[in-house]
Structure 1
Amino acid sequence: MDIEKIKMKIIKYILLIVLFAIIGIGGYVYYLTYTPQGRVKWGQALFLKLSASDNVSEIADRLKTMTVLERSHFIDQMPINLEGLSVDTLKITSDSLTTYIFKPKVFDKSSPVIIYYHGGAFVLPWTNLSISYATRLSKLYNAIVVAVDYRVAPEHPFPIPNNDCFATFLWTISNIEKWGGNPSNIIVAGESAGATFASLVAIKAKQENLTNIKYQILECPAGYSPFKTTAYQKFKIGYYLQEPEMQYAIESYLPNEADRTNPLAFPFYADSLSNLPPAYIIICEFDPLKDTGKEFAEKLKNAKVPTFLKEMKGMVHSIPGPFNEKDRENLYKEILIESKRYLKK
């Protein structure tokens, strides 16, 4: 028996198996990432597959029946790493507005203070996802992060959450020195609804001649109600943030239809955007809110506000799930570099 021939046959069979496996995996990835509007990144495609439901209205229907306390546990399964940080929980107003202060145990006092406004379609309160954003920002900048659990709709519609967000800004510039922070070197940051609130706070601060805010980080902001945009029509079903949720969000936040073009509710409608702090605006390729963020960025640029617009290719709204963590890490490193051009030394 020729041992060498047998070895060669075994190697050929193994190579064929590996080849077919690669073809099979490649074919599945190709199938998985296909959508009618283009190809999403594989990590986003896998997240969409794992979180998919036959009932498009499932999340909106659940939200409608949940209390605020129940909604605060909407994303409890997300792991949290607070290593290297201390967290203080405070009530900063007479009506018990809850605010969290994330502070690195060793931090650079020249770093900015970041006021973080969480996302959640105007209806989700503080969740584990909010903690993950706050800790990421604190560790990225080695800085204090002030984060607010603003009151949410439908129990507390416009302008209550907006007032909570601005109250947090005013509290921060008056009190953050007690934690070693610089009240004159502030970043406002948020994702989705939180990005909308962050930009509104910057606009109101400018109107009141408060120049403490030096930069804005706005991830997937709702610059205005998205229902008539091209992106909304293309991505309103099947791309994570779905039409029933968005309709419920806007109806809850702005039950009075006249407020849906109110400059105090959406930043796009502000009378003037000139002299605002520089902004880094993130939009995602397959996000129904993409056009509202893009057009708000264009309006800022037209007002001569230094604005960096970053489109995350292949991503759905706010890059959900754990499979594209490297993309998010790289994105936030870019934000850090860009923002340092404008922050006080």
Structure 2
Amino acid sequence: MSSVDHSRPPGWRGLLDHESLQAADFLAEVLPRPLHTLGLEGVRRFTAPQPPPRITQVASVTEDAATWTDPAGARHSVPVRVYRPHDSGPEPAGLPCLLYLHGGGFTVGSLDGVDEVCRLFSVGAGCVVVSVDYRLAPEHPFPAAVDDTRTAHGWLVENAAELGIDSHRIAVAGDSAGGGLAASLCLDLQRRELPQPVLQLLVYPAVDDTFTRPSWTEFADAPLLGTADARWFLRQYVGDEGVPPSPLLTPLQAPSLAGLAPAHVITAEVDCLRDDAEAYARRLEADGVPVRHHRYPGVFHGFFTEIGTFTKAADAVTDACAGLRKAFGGAALPV
């Protein structure tokens, strides 16, 4: 007797839960061909977020500029959006802080696209959230986004007292390209022999450029982001000629991950980036970094920030907030 479940659709569609299958069908209607075939301006129009719903209320949201002078004396500035939670009682040393980096293949994405998830983090983890409007490729190729991430973090550390945050309780997080930037920040701090964040929250991070692991083939035509799309985004970031190898571009290829911040790694089951992200989690663990990894079944790339669309997005954010609270309190990663 055959063990095949004929009630389930074939291929990756058979792995999706009901909400994700509905979302995939909708995407197939509005985007009948691969995303990258729209060209740069078309991709940006398609991915531009609608005005954020601002469902979750926080104490304040302000626009600011993170301005920082690097050790060589160069002055840098990057726009940021700062979310402050409601009064949670006295914090003599300042509130904990989460530095958040949006996704979008280093080419698209904006502060508005992650507005709701930043609000949820601020309330759920009881922290200030600083969302970074880093420069986008191809106008600003690698390492512009890495430089802007360094600038935002340096600004937080140097101005912690003025900002009302505790410089010893800063975490970093990001989704997709932003997850790759969060990982790169930790490696950059390692290289400069500076203190690590209390936690790196990496949501299906982009950490490699080899496109060799099985998920790149298995989910080559998955919803929203396929393998050809990912290759196109990488070309926007590094140019047709590429760039010299750098762990700040491909953290998975770093010689050592020892001493990096504890990591909470989130992956989606139906995602071409899945195996790279999970390989990074294993590398971190092998190099002695405390790691918690959670693969969410039945969902595809991009689910984490779509709070109103996927039940598992809310579950993942709630779980991440619990991990952040533990890290801000000095406790180990939850099992």
For 1:269, which of 245, 253, 277 is the aligned residue?
A: 253
Equivalent residue of 1:170, what SS? Answer: helix
Aligned residues: 312
1:45 and 2:26 matched: no
In the other structure, the counterpart of 2:333 is none
> Would the aligned equivalents of 2:307 and 2:314 in 1 still touch at CA under 8 Å?
no
Please tell me whether the aligned partners of residues 44 and 323 of structure 1 are also in contact (alpha carbons under 8 angstroms): no
Q: How does 1:167-246 map to 2 (within 5 A)?
A: 167-225=151-209, 227-246=211-230
Q: CA deviation at 1:272?
A: 1.4
Pairing of 1:74-153 with structure 2 (within 5 A): 74-76=48-50, 78-81=52-55, 83-93=57-67, 96-107=77-88, 109=91, 111-153=95-137
Gaps of 5+ in 1: 1-29
SS of the counterpart of 1:169? helix
TM-fit CA distance, 1:111:
4.7
SS class of match (1:295): helix
> What is the rounded CA distance, in whole Å, between the counterparts of 1:120 and 1:80 in structure 2?
21
Asked whether the equivalents of residues 224 and 261 of structure 1 are also in contact (C-alpha less than 8 Å), the reply is no
- How many percent identity over aligned positions? 23
Please name the residue that 2:3 is paired with: none
When structure 1 is superposed on structure 2, of 98-107 and 253-262 the one drifting more is: 253-262
Determine the C-alpha separation between the residues in 2 that align with 1:335 and 1:111: 18
2:323 aligns with 338
Task: Please report how far the alpha carbon of residue 265 of structure 1 lies from its aligned counterpart in structure 2 after TM superposition.
Answer: 0.6
Kindly provide the amino acid, as one letter, of the partner of residue 316 in structure 2: L
Deviation for aligned residue 1:340: 4.1
Q: What displacement does 1:187 show?
A: 0.6
Is the partner of 1:119 in helix, strand or coil? coil
Q: Which residue of 1 aligns with 2:9?
A: 34
- CA shift for structure 1 position 210: 1.8
TM-score if structure 2 supplies the norm length? 0.85
Assess if the C-alpha contact under 8 Å between 2:259 and 2:289 holds in 1: yes
SS of residue matched to 1:183: strand
Task: Could you list the structure 1 runs, at least 4 aligned residues long, displaced by more than 6 angstroms after superposition.
Answer: none
Distance 2:222 2:208 in 1: 22
Equivalent residues of 2:190, 2:260 under 8 A apart: yes
Q: Structure 1: how far apart are the matches of 2:324 and 2:114? A: 21
Alpha-carbon spacing, 1:306–1:212, altered in 2? closer, same or farther (3 Å): closer
1:137, distance to aligned residue in structure 2 (A): 1.2
Q: Which has the higher strand share?
A: 2
Q: C-alpha displacement at 1:125, in angstroms?
A: 3.7
Q: Report the CA distance between 1:39 and its aligned residue.
A: 2.3
Q: Deviations over 1:105-130 (max 9, x none)?
A: 32453652100011111101414222
Q: Could you say which structure has the higher helix fraction?
A: 1
Provide the residue aligned with 1:23 in structure 2. none
- Listed one character per residue, the Cα deviations across residues 261-299 of structure 1 (whole Å, up to 9, x for unaligned) are 421212111121001110000111110000110100010
Query: Partners in 1 of 2:57 and 2:323 — Cα distance?
Result: 26
Cα 1:81/1:176, change in 2 over 3 Å: farther
Secondary structure class of the residue paired with 1:52: helix
Contact 2:20 / 2:310 at 8 angstroms: preserved in 1? Answer: no
Please tell me the residue identity of whatever aligns with 1:56: R
Query: Unaligned regions of 5+ residues in structure 2, if any?
Result: 1-5, 68-74, 331-335
Aligned partners of 1:132 and 1:63: how far apart in 2? 28
Q: Does 1:65 align with 2:41?
A: yes
AA aligned opposite 1:209: E
Residue range with higher mean Cα deviation, 110-119 or 293-302: 110-119
Distance in 2 separating the partners of 1:36 and 1:115: 37
Letter aligned with residue 312 of structure 2 = D
Displacement of 1:260 after TM fit? 7.5
Coordinate RMSD, CA, aligned? 2.5
Amino acid in structure 1 at the alignment position of 2:33: V
**Post-superposition shift, 1:244?**
3.7
Aligned to 2:232: 248
C-alpha distance in 2 between matches for 1:245 and 1:281: 23
Post-superposition offset of 1:316: 0.4
TM-superposed CA distance for 1:176, in Å, is 2.8
Query: Per-residue deviation at 1:258?
Result: 4.8
Alpha-carbon distance in 2 for matches of 1:230, 1:288: 8
Which SS does the other structure have where 2:323 is aligned?
Answer: helix
Q: TM-score, normalised by structure 1?
A: 0.82
- What is the one-letter code of the residue matched to 1:84? V
